[in-house]
Amino acid sequence: MNQIKPFYFDITDDEIGYFLSETEKILRSGKLILGEHTAEFEKAFAEYVGVRHAIAVNSGSSGLEILLRLKKVEGTTVLVPTNTNFATVAAVIRAGGQVQYLDMDEGTFAPSLQMVQDAVERGSTAQDVKISGVLWVHIGGVISPEFPQVVEYCRGQDLFVLEDTAHAHGSQIKGVSAGNLADGAAFSFFPTKVMTTFEGGMVTLNDEQEDYIARSLRNQGKRGMDFGGLHTDFGNSTRITEINALFGRIQLKKLPDMLKRRQRAYELITAPLREAGIGFVSTEQMDAASHYKLIVHLPEGKTLKEVKAALGSEGVFLGGTVYEIPCHQQPVFEGICPGQSFPRAERWCPNHICPPLTSGMTEAEAKVVGETLVRHLSSN
């Protein structure tokens, strides 16, 4: 039986050859960090996203923390969707902020504008709460059609909006790319993402002074690329290596092509779902999507466990969910927003699946995924 897997490491023999020969040059040069590959990777990524500055770091998590430190969230409250990865919430706490969760809408798996407005209004009347901004997540690479309005509303309230773009490389709405839609963003290049540097991340922003401080924060708080002993900011050692940056350049070059293949797979998988009336999170409102995850709603009466087993028995292996357990139910975050419930997240987090969708998938495989889903998810 043909197995259709949820992950595909997209690399060719030519790319491996080039990577090895360039890596040899790095090793012989002895310039292992903050060299030509880092600078070129940052320049190319900034151009791709359409921002003035891109700062490469060693993970998406460190990128988020840098952004939050730039915004000086210490002692303030940041609105964060409960439906996100551990890293989003952890970054706020690491930067000294408090978290107020937002619920989600099943149409986008992100919060709605109304949810943001309600939380801001509640915050404005609560004692000892000072909301400084929102850390938004484009779950699965999907940009909510309301996101531009969220940014506009927050600007009117003097609140920042940061984008967690860990899933959203290449996603675009109204002609603007994820990473350039608000006041700063952090991408992840973790191996499962649509492009990888093994481990790595990228901060994107437009403000020159913030670029200067972000570069300091990733380098133990040393300003101006100074390798001396003066530490001005409370930074960390979160630089990317030259070898990771080299690999990032190789991946970025082929990103448009990888995304084109993911788009084709998305179309082939979702056509039969649409016809059968099976709900999924659509990217129709967008100009382009990363298609990091296709989110399919489980119909009433079907459980994740049984659907996963049934599809697996036919060779269709599901990817990880986004996310089965929302952050407000994670043991590590016990004590955040005590007593509050987030009914949409509680309803949909355990009740969706993410079928395989990769740049390495053949058209025939994508069709099989769509047809197999219809057979297992249709009510009759």
Ligand X SMILES: Cc1ncc(COP(=O)(O)O)c(C=O)c1O
Query: Least distance to ligand X from the beta carbon of 82, Å?
Result: 12
Burial letters 17-44, b for 16+ CB under 10 A, else e: eebeebeeebeeeeeebbbebbeebbee
Binding characters for ligand X, 74-113, by CB under 6 A (x = yes) = ----------xx-xx-------------------------
Query: Least distance to ligand X from the beta carbon of 100, Å?
Result: 18
The answer to whether residues 142 and 114 touch, using CB atoms and an 8 Å cutoff, is no
Query: Least distance to ligand X from the beta carbon of 341, Å?
Result: 22
Query: Least distance to ligand X from the beta carbon of 199, Å?
Result: 6
What is the footprint of ligand X within residues 108-167 (CB under 6 A)? 137, 164, 166-167
Residue whose pair of structure tokens reads 């659907």 in the numeric block? 307
Q: Site for ligand X (CB under 6 A): which residue of 190, 333, 342, 348? A: 190
The answer to whether residues 78 and 98 touch, using CB atoms and an 8 Å cutoff, is yes
Q: Measured at CB, which residue is nearest to ligand X?
A: 60
Closer to ligand X by Cβ: residue 166 or 258: 166
Closer to ligand X by Cβ: residue 131 or 135: 135
Query: Least distance to ligand X from the beta carbon of 283, Å?
Result: 17
Binding characters for ligand X, 192-221, by CB under 6 A (x = yes) = ---------x--------------------
Binding characters for ligand X, 36-65, by CB under 6 A (x = yes) = -----------------------xxx----
Binding site for ligand X (CB under 6 A): 59-61, 84-85, 87-88, 137, 164, 166-167, 188, 190, 201
